[in-house]
Amino acid sequence: MTDAPPLPAPRVIPTVPGPPVIGSLTNLYPHRLRAFLTGAYREHGPVFNVTGLGQTFTVLAGPEANVWAVRESARVLRSLEAWRPNDRAFGVQRSMISVDGPEHRAFRRVEGRTYTRSYLGANLRRALAVTAEDLAPLRAGDDLQVAHWCKAVITEQLARLVVNGTARPYLGDLLGFVQNTLMVRVTRQRPPLVEQLPGFRRARARSLGMVETLIDEHRRVPPEQAGRDPDLIDDLLAAQAADPAFWSDLDLRMAAIGAFIAGMDTAANTLAFVLYRVGRHPDLMPALIAEADEVFRDGPPSMETLGGCRTCTASCWSACACIPSRPP
């Protein structure tokens, strides 16, 4: 009988060096974070620790982390610890983004319909109308804060399509409330004191008040009376009527405000990144413009037509592929 081969020694996760106590704290602010994490990834690899004020954060970065997350995250990760503090900022104990398993599926059954590709396809003209409104004031040569513009467009599109509301008068409040809440409670980049500042409290009150008013309007005027198709809030009200023990008024508020924040940092930043990279490659523009002219020649295209825009897809991949990755 032979001895089993020894198990490989566990690898020690490298820690990004920094001064005592504060660690990498000064690099965790938004204007430095991206460059800091990119540099740390290139130096230390896809898994590394970052310290600050006595806390240690483990970072998973780069394409290796993306591949691992797709393959393994459902088996080894869960959302509760990361997102419950965020839920509490909205007055609830759980939400679709903080729970997994059957409870998550219960939320998604109600909230998912108005976020589907088919729902967007049925409302594509309304989404494109928002884009046209935001493009109309722009002239050739104008300076444009691309990321903020993308946030404004996508947030307004979701507000109109998903809950038949508008984010226009509240965009600053939503950005101030939601993004500060995330940096205090989820990423812990900012101290809890931020939530006591008058500006934050005002932004929170206006954001939540806006959603509560919208829900009240939906209660008073159902879709058949309003002459519109049922939206997310109508689905939530129907679910609450069927199972009031599961859906409290605060749960409805949390789910409804999701329409205003669902793309604020995800789709908006992705779009801004693509626009920026394509803008750095003007040689791609003639073919992109020609394809857009063809696709929109007879009016707004279908989702299938948009999905078949090969020049746009190939150009975006080509531009984004120019980003240097970590050396082997």
d(CA 119, CA 117) in angstroms, rounded, equals: 5
Q: What is the mean pLDDT of residues 232-249?
A: 97
pLDDT of residue 328: 42
pLDDT of residue 274: 87
Helix H or strand E encompassing 149: helix 146-163
Within 8 A by CB and 6+ apart from 48, the residues are: 13, 14, 15, 16, 40, 41, 58, 59, 61
pLDDT of 323 strictly over 70: no
From 7, 85, 20, select the one nearest 52 (Cα to Cα).
20
pLDDT of residue 320: 63
- Quickly name the fold that domain 89-267 has: Cytochrome p450 (1.10.630)
pLDDT of residue 327: 45
Total count of residues recorded for the chain: 328
pLDDT of 149 strictly over 90: yes
pLDDT of 292 strictly over 70: yes
Identity at 105, one-letter amino acid code: R
Question: At CA 129, angle to CA 127 and CA 130, rounded to 5?
Answer: 70
Question: At CA 259, angle to CA 253 and CA 262, rounded to 5?
Answer: 115
Helix H or strand E encompassing 215: helix 198-220
pLDDT of residue 324: 46
pLDDT of 206 strictly over 80: yes
Within 8 A by CB and 6+ apart from 263, the residues are: 154, 155, 157, 158
pLDDT of 72 strictly over 60: yes
148 strand-pairing partners:
none
pLDDT of 238 strictly over 70: yes
Count of other CB atoms within 10 angstroms of residue 224: 10
Percentage of residues in the chain with pLDDT exceeding 70?
A: 95
The 10s digit of each residue's pLDDT in 49-61 is: 999 888 898 999 9
Q: What is the mean pLDDT of residues 313-326?
A: 63
